[in-house]
């Protein structure tokens, strides 16, 4: 019996030594164990890439953006000025939160044109047009010809009264992205309509009258391009009739 116990004891010692020198034991000791507590998190953090961390922050910013859009929509439909003000304040809070998330994403991954463009959009919504231009420029430096950044930057130029700059990249958009070109023309229309009722900054030699002629001419040419696109695309294929049972 004593010999048997000694053999068993020896086996236990050898097993323990083997475990302590194994990679799994080293990993458990470093992580602290705990089944998903800080130990598990430490392993996950070391495995996460800057791209994934940046993407996570960026998506949080997009969620704040979507929330801000909802509050802006409610503000447009608000029955009273008080309710409208409440919704706009909520939207402003969401835009500020979006800015923080986008900046976190850029800090983790500086070369992230979508985050730079989205940051510019949020800053523009908050009225910080100069800062938004900086973000759009960075997005376009990293991703030349990026349609969203070009169109949004044009709207920031409009807000600053830089009419020549606002129209500068329209021809490129009309060739590459008809929808963004139409969006820019709609923004110019909105700016001109607003200029009829309140003074707006104009810091270039171009006048609102010149801008009206410019946008009317571009609307006609864009309509021709869109008609040509529809003609080349042809009619939509007919869907097979569903059998009635």
**What range does the domain containing 177 cover?**
161-232
Count: domains in the chain? 2
Out of 117, 144, 171, pick the residue that ends a domain: 144
Is 219 inside any structural domain?
yes
Out of 95, 114, 144, pick the residue that ends a domain: 144
Angle between helices 178-195 and 208-233 (to 10 degrees): 150
Out of 110, 144, 178, pick the residue that ends a domain: 144
Is 93 inside any structural domain?
yes
Cα 133 from Cα 157, distance rounded (Å):
8
> Could you give phi then psi for residue 234, rounded to 5 degrees?
80, 175
Query: Domain check: are 58 and 139 in the same one?
Result: yes
In three-state secondary structure terms, 59 is: helix
Q: Does the pTM exceed 0.85?
A: no
What CATH number is associated with residue 106? 1.25.40.10
Write out pLDDT tens, residues 193-242. Answer: 998 888 888 776 688 899 999 999 999 999 999 999 988 887 766 665 55
């Amino acid at each position: 019996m004593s010999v048997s116990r000694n053999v068993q004891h020896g086996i236990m010692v050898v097993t323990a030594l083997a475990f302590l020198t194994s990679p799994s034991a080293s990993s458990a000791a470093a992580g602290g164990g705990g089944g998903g507590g800080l130990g598990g998190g430490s392993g996950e953090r070391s495995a996460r890439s800057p791209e994934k961390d940046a993407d996570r922050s960026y998506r949080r910013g997009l969620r704040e953006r979507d929330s801000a859009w909802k509050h802006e929509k409610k503000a447009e439909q608000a029955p009273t000025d008080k309710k409208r003000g409440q919704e706009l304040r909520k939207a402003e809070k969401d835009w500020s939160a979006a800015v923080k998330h986008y900046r976190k994403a850029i800090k983790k991954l500086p070369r992230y044109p979508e985050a730079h463009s989205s940051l510019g959009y949020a800053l523009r919504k908050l009225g910080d047009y100069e800062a938004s231009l900086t973000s759009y420029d960075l997005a376009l430096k990293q991703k030349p010809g990026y349609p969203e950044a070009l169109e949004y930057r044009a709207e920031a130029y409009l807000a600053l009264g830089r009419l020549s700059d606002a129209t500068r990249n329209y021809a490129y958009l009309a060739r590459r992205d008809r929808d963004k070109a139409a969006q820019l023309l709609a923004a110019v229309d909105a700016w001109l309509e607003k200029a009829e009722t309140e003074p707006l900054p104009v810091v270039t030699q171009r006048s609102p009258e010149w801008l009206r002629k410019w946008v009317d001419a571009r609307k006609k040419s864009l309509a021709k391009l869109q008609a040509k696109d529809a003609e080349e695309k042809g009619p939509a294929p007919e869907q097979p009739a569903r059998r009635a049972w």
